[in-house]
Amino acid sequence: MSGHEQKYINEAFETNWIAPLGPNVDAFEKEIAEYVGANDAVAVNSGTAAIHLALSLLDVNKGDIVFCSSLTFVASANPIIYQRAEPVFIDSEPGTWNMSPQALERAFHEATNEGRLPKAVIVVNLYGQSAKMDEILSICNHYRVPIIEDAAESLGSTFKGRASGTFGKFGIFSFNGNKIITTSGGGMLISNDIEAIKKARFLATQARDPAPHYQHSNIGFNYRMSNILAGIGRAQLEVLDDRVEARRVVFERYYQELAHLSGLHLMPELENTRSNRWLTALIINEEEAGVSAEEILRALTLENIEARPVWKPLHMQPIFQGTRYYQHSNSENISEYLFKSGICLPSGSNLEVEYQSKVINCIKDVINNNSKERDVIHI
């Protein structure tokens, strides 16, 4: 917490605005829209809800297909299933770890030949890093298919000076407890289409018709954010830039200490972008490092340090077994390689140097010990 949240929470209690509407909700929507440079925004109870609303607004229904990044959390794709549509997963590329324009182009080419273009493309900005939006926008605009930019992890990041989340027809943010700023649970849908956001606000409040009695002509959702949580979000937004800077400092420490080690490659930052470095992630080339990602994870766990593999690609998940998937190239399956070789390190905005040094030293010890063992075997 920033220390300023209680002010907004107290205002909600003192004015008796506890319900999922109120001054904090209105202000939070306006402040987020202004921060990223969007025309309007609607605050909801999760980033997943925001994606679901975006798909609903794009009239995605049963029998439709939606292209989606494969290397992401399952919440990026679950709303496709909510709409009874079919996800088609697109591989990553090595420069950003995000959606491969090369694979996307191939998926569109085949969809055109089959006479079945997708209703939407969900592009995920992984761990705070923007995807190659110039190439992806060019492809999607050519086929006239709208983009939903899943910026759940990239609030505060920029691509060529423009805020992450503002490149598609819709953008979504998450304020889950693990995000760079949090409302404990919450999300935001943004767009330059003010009428679409107005309709999203309507759908998110059970699609209640403007009548003196309770009347519903559309199926709606109970997706609105509470006035109390929006107050927390307002206070968190005030320190977002500080949080981004803190995460970038954490990444830079890791980079200075680990980047020179053979076989360790930290997540790249695309030229002319600025990642919020929500999580510091790296890949371990086992042949070069002489140690696997699994071995490093095991060593960190023994030191009571929580680190995790990168997201398991969605096309590998049991619930999506048999779903169509387009890899980066015939010889390169980037998302599967990242899953096998990638690790996310402790990256909190309040991570103390002492504890970060413990993580760094543990990794160095594992690599150095394995290097010595190899030398002994070689002798």
Length, in residues, of the chain: 379
Residue 206 and residue 248 in one domain: no
CATH number at residue 262: 3.90.1150.10
- 102 with 141, same domain? yes
Q: Which long-range contacts (CB under 8 A, 24 or more apart) does 251-254 make?
A: 251/277, 251/280, 251/347, 253/353, 253/356, 253/360, 254/280, 254/282, 254/345, 254/356, 254/360
Q: Looking at the structure, do residues 45 and 132 belong to the same domain, yes or no?
A: yes
Q: Name the pairing type of β-strands 120-124 and 147-150.
A: parallel
The number of domains in the chain is 2
Q: Which of 221, 239, 257 is the last residue in one of the domains?
A: 239
CATH of the domain at 102: 3.40.640.10
Nearest to 28 by CA among 301, 20, 93: 20
**Looking at the structure, do residues 43 and 187 belong to the same domain, yes or no?**
yes
**Is residue 192 domain-shared with residue 306, that is, in the same domain?**
no
Q: What is the pLDDT of residue 374?
A: 55
Are residues 88 and 197 located together in one domain of the fold? Answer: yes
pTM of the model: 0.94
Dist. CA 296–CA 286, nearest whole Å: 11
Residues 329 and 283 in one domain: yes
Provide, for the chain, the percentages of residues in helix, strand and coil under a 3-state DSSP scheme, each rounded to the nearest 5. 45, 15, 40
Domain boundary (193, 212, 239) is at 239
Q: Cβ distance 311 to 339 under 8 Å?
A: yes
Say whether 158 sits in a helix, a strand or coil: strand
248 shares a domain with 225: no
- Nearest alpha carbon to residue 69 among 327, 282, 343, 339: 327
Reference 107, options 118, 122, 97; nearest CA is 118
How many C-beta atoms lie closer than 10 Å to residue 376's C-beta? 8
**CA proximity to 169, closest of 57, 267, 288:** 57
Domain residues for the domain of 265 are 241-378
Do 118 and 9 sit in the same domain of this protein?
Answer: yes
Helices (H), the chain: 5-14, 23-36, 47-57, 78-82, 101-113, 133-143, 194-203, 227-237, 240-258, 286-289, 293-302, 334-341, 353-378
pLDDT score, position 371? 61
Q: Do 114 and 47 sit in the same domain of this protein?
A: yes
Please tell me whether residues 197 and 279 are part of one structural domain. no
pLDDT value at residue 160: 96
Q: Residue 9, SS3?
A: helix
**Does 149 share its domain with 249?**
no
Q: How many CB atoms lie within 10 A of CB 257?
A: 16
Q: What is the DSSP string of 16-29?
A: T--SS-SHHHHHHH
State both tokens at 21: 């509407």
Task: Taking each helix axis as running N to C, give the angle between helix 5-14 and helix 227-237, from 0 to 180 degrees, rounded to the nearest 10.
Answer: 150
One digit per residue, the tens of pLDDT, for the chain of length 379 reads 888 889 999 998 999 888 888 999 999 999 999 999 999 999 999 999 999 999 999 999 999 999 999 999 999 999 999 999 999 999 999 999 999 999 999 999 999 999 999 999 999 999 999 999 999 999 999 999 999 999 999 999 999 999 999 999 999 999 999 999 999 999 999 999 999 999 999 999 988 888 888 888 888 999 999 999 999 999 999 999 999 999 999 999 999 999 999 999 999 999 999 999 999 999 999 999 999 999 999 999 999 999 999 999 999 999 999 999 999 999 999 999 999 999 999 999 999 999 999 999 999 999 888 765 555 444 4
Last residue of a domain, one of 239, 255, 278: 239
- Say if CB 89 and CB 320 are below 8 A apart: yes
Both structure tokens of 104: 């996307």
